[in-house]
Amino acid sequence: MSSIMPVTKHLLVINFLVWLATIVFVQAGIIDLNQWLALHFWQSPDFNLVQLVTYMFLHANFMHIFFNMFSLWMFGSLLERVMGSKRFLTYYLVCGIGAGLIQELTWHLSGLNFYGITLGASGAVFGILLAFGMLFPNMKMFIIPFPFPIKAKWVVLGYGLLELYFGITGEVADVAHYAHLGGMVFGIILILYWKKTGKLPRNGIY
């Protein structure tokens, strides 16, 4: 992992260690980390503010953590080189916390009960995808099942619209689609602010 930037590397390691700890602790009958660290509805007696950070380091199963960490591995180091390590970490956490806040708002507006939880780095990862599309808008990507390259800006727009569609229709249940969109929205705000203040290139890099 020597070619991976430090913050990206540490995020990958921490996420996998927490996932393994969750499995080991549950099997050993020690503690269910999801009960304490996953995000609960704000009116639930199990809620605390720390969960807005800790929930993004928990994952439900191997495929959940694999796809999130694969995306972080793919885009994280490149964005970290452009933003700088401290700004990249700030961006990651802001997108993840923002996604959690949007999930809380979604629960509140939908009137769901207090017993659901949200966990995973997906909100932060969707923020990373958004940043990649804004900073490298014309970089071409191959996305399955399309047999031709697509510019990053259109890939990001497509993912955003797909999440909005699934959120409205409810076709893919048990996925926090609005939290994913929340990560993107907070990412847009932060990227635009940094562009305006000259901390990032105004018109993208590629």
User: Low-confidence residues of the chain, pLDDT below 50?
Assistant: 1
204 domain residue, yes or no? no
70 domain residue, yes or no? yes
- Which DSSP string corresponds to 39-101? EE-TTSTT--TTHHHHGGG--SSHHHHHHHHHHHHHHHHHHHHHH-HHHHHHHHHHHHHHHHH
**E strand or H helix that includes residue 163:** helix 152-169
117 domain residue, yes or no? yes
Q: And the tokens for 125?
A: 């990862």
Instruction: Please tell me the predicted confidence (pLDDT) of residue 172.
Output: 77
115 domain residue, yes or no? yes
Instruction: Please tell me the predicted confidence (pLDDT) of residue 206.
Output: 67
Q: Do the strands 117-118 and 39-40 form a parallel or antiparallel pair, or are they unpaired?
A: antiparallel
205 domain residue, yes or no? no
Q: What CATH number does residue 78 fall under?
A: 1.20.1540.10
| pTM of this structure | 0.92
27 domain residue, yes or no? yes
Instruction: Please tell me the predicted confidence (pLDDT) of residue 144.
Output: 76
Structurally, the chain folds into a number of domains equal to 1
203 domain residue, yes or no? no
206 domain residue, yes or no? no
Domain span including residue 174? 6-196
